[in-house]
């Protein structure tokens, strides 16, 4: 039997890579991990965690305004971007240390550098050739900026977390969750924000009702939405950016942030040397056990470009490890994976959209409710909440739940458990609500949408 340096070599120390390495080492495998940027990957450093911190910060302006309706006199607010970013950086540095401890305490060896595959059992990192029985690729993705004149003047979400000062005027380009979230962040912190999307409506893939509802709510906060247009060019003049749009209009701003998608970070990691199969956008093709067409090489997480969410990468990591180093049988279920957009107001979803449900199940019943949350009956805000629920007629199972409103992610997380367990509408109806909450609306909807 071949003698390898390690049982498992993990390329990438993001959420999925760290979880796989730590668990495999804990089960007795000899494990090494290579990372060339930062421990914790995108989520910890330039993704979920720092973004949520900025989202929290951006909500305070609305809270100050809402407080007046409840009798509070709020002094003129002052916001210090530098202090926010410094505090965010300190917390991320602390998390980097925790990830390092998790790996070393489990017995995994950390290599500082970008690993490349030499052959099915060999990688090169930091000038060393290292052999392993299995190689796991978990290098994640990277923001993509289209090739337009002046693209060198644009930033992505990566750079947005480290700006030296808050831009006074921002153009956010894109229609995905990162674009929507950062438009809300900059706007909430006091920037004048224009969000541009080339399509007719943002957040493609979410239910149409919630997309349309959110497009009505976001401008109430002050974000200028421009659909069916794109940026033609960016020029820099006298320290300002001049933006020309494809519809002929122009804008002067201090920052242009592109959030037009992410691509698997698979360039220059040696995939070609072993003939590892990739799809058209560079994602690694794997089977149901995360194995590539090269028997000893596996891949999980965003690098496979399936459901690009941190909890999915974590679940895939655990399934991978259990399958190879433990009793197995812990398959990941990709149906009823909940997701949230930390827009303002929040959007969250689990299960099928209405279009998907009609296509898959045929006869369905739809329930929908739009209302003003109790808080806003005296806050002075005209923000509305939307809830939507879909039921398969043949089984009475709830197959899709969608929400736009405060704490949507927190609420949908609990409902995702019910859908995963196969809850029916009858069970929802028999569930006692917590009053007064917005969430109770999900167990009190009785009248289906006509038609």
Active site residue 402: no
Rounded to the nearest 5 degrees, what angle is found at the Cα of 149, between the Cα atoms of 204 and 146? 30
Residue among 121, 192, 402, 435 flagged as catalytic: 435
Please give the structure tokens belonging to residue 375.
């808080």
Which phi-psi region, left, alpha or beta, contains residue 116 (left: φ > 0; alpha: ψ -120 to 50)? Answer: beta
C-alpha–C-alpha distance, residues 71 and 292, integer Å: 61
Catalytic amino acids? 435
């Amino acid at each position: 039997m071949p003698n390898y340096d390690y049982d498992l070599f993990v390329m990438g120390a993001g959420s999925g890579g760290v979880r796989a390495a730590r668990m495999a080492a804990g089960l007795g495998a000899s494990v090494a991990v290579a990372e060339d940027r930062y421990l914790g990957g995108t989520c910890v450093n330039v993704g979920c965690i720092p973004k949520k911190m900025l989202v929290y910060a951006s909500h305070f302006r609305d809270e100050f305004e809402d407080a007046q309706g409840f009798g509070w006199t709020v002094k003129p607010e002052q916001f210090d971007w530098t202090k926010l970013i410094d505090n965010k950086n300190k917390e991320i540095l602390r998390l980097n240390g925790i990830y390092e401890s998790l790996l070393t305490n489990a017995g995994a060896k950390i290599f500082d550098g970008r690993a490349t595959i030499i052959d099915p059992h060999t990688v090169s990192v930091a000038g060393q050739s290292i052999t392993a029985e299995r190689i796991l690729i978990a290098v994640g993705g990277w923001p993509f900026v289209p090739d337009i004149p002046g693209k060198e003047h644009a930033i992505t979400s990566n750079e947005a977390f480290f700006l030296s000062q808050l831009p006074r005027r921002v153009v956010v380009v894109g229609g995905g969750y990162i674009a929507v979230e950062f438009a809300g962040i900059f706007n909430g912190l006091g920037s004048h924000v224009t969000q541009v999307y080339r399509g007719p409506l943002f957040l493609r893939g979410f239910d149409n009702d919630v997309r349309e509802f959110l497009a009505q709510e976001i401008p109430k906060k002050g974000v200028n939405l421009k659909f069916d247009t794109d940026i033609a060019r960016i020029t820099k003049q006298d320290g300002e950016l001049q933006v020309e749009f494809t519809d002929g209009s122009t804008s002067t701003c201090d920052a242009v942030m592109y959030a037009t998608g992410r691509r698997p970070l698979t360039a220059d990691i040696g995939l070609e040397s072993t003939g590892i199969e990739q799809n058209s956008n560079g994602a690694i093709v794997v089977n149901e056990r995360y194995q590539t067409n090269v028997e000893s090489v596996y891949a999980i997480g965003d690098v496979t470009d399936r459901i690009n969410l941190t909890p999915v990468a974590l679940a895939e990591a655990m399934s991978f490890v259990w399958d190879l180093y433990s009793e197995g049988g812990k398959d990941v279920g990709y149906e009823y994976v909940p997701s949230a957009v930390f827009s303002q107001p929040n959007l969250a979803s689990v299960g099928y959209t209405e279009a998907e449900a009609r296509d898959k199940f045929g006869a369905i019943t739809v329930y929908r409710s739009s209302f003003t949350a109790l808080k806003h009956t005296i806050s002075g805000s005209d923000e509305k909440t939307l809830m939507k629920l879909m039921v398969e007629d043949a089984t009475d199972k709830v197959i899709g739940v969608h929400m736009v409103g405060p704490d949507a992610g927190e609420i949908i997380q609990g409902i995702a458990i019910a859908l995963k367990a196969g809850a029916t509408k009858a069970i929802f109806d028999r569930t006692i609500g917590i009053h007064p909450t917005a969430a109770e609306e999900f167990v009190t909807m009785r009248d289906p949408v006509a038609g």
